[in-house]
């Protein structure tokens, strides 16, 4: 069974500052993928970044980077230079690459960016 834990129900950050959203996971699989999604108040799920378990380098996508520490089973999302539009719910998710499995989501972290 897979499990995603996001321990921060809410985070506050000032505009232009960096923020780290925590995510730890538990799985017995050797090959898996880790995802981060953003869900603004409109409800749509926006894909941000992906990290494969065998990827040696941390994934980066613009202002988003994923701090992947495999031994600690953590996949924290780092948002640099926060913007007001970053205020949203953020979900960490994982998917096993064995066979074809579904996404397992964490409970989410609400990020509020203040001016």
Partner 1 sequence: GAVVSQHPSWVICKSGTSVKIECRSLDFQATTMFWYRQFPKQSLMLMATSNEGSKATYEQGVEKDKFLINHASLTLSTLTVTSAHPEDSSFYICSASVRLVVFGEQFFGPGTRLTVL
The residues binding partner 1 (CB under 8 A) are 33, 35, 37, 42-47, 50, 52, 91, 95, 97, 100, 102-103, 105-108
For partner 1, the closer CB: 82 or 96 = 96
For partner 1, the closer CB: 10 or 15 = 10
Q: Which residues does 61 contact at the CB level (< 8 Å), separation at least 6?
A: 48, 49
For partner 1, the closer CB: 78 or 103 = 103
- Residue 52 CB coordination number (10 Å): 13
Tokens of 11: 């985070």
**What are the φ and ψ backbone dihedral angles of 46, each rounded to 5 degrees?**
-110, 120
Shortest CB 91 distance to partner 1, Å: 6
Shortest CB 16 distance to partner 1, Å: 28
| Alpha-carbon distances, residue 81 vs 33, 39, 78, 98 (angstroms) | 26, 19, 10, 36
**What are the φ and ψ backbone dihedral angles of 78, each rounded to 5 degrees?**
-110, 125
For partner 1, the closer CB: 3 or 16 = 3
Shortest CB 43 distance to partner 1, Å: 4
């Amino acid at each position: 069974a897979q499990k995603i834990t996001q321990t921060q129900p809410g985070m506050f950050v000032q505009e232009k500052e960096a923020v780290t959203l925590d995510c730890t996971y538990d799985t017995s699989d050797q090959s898996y993928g880790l995802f981060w999604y953003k869900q603004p108040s409109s409800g749509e799920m926006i894909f941000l970044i992906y990290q494969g378990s065998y990827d040696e380098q941390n994934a980066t996508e613009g202002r988003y980077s994923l701090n992947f520490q495999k031994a600690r089973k953590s996949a924290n999302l780092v948002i640099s230079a926060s913007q007001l539009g970053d205020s949203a719910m953020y979900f960490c998710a994982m998917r096993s690459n064995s066979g074809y499995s579904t996404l397992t989501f964490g409970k989410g972290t609400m990020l509020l960016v203040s001016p």
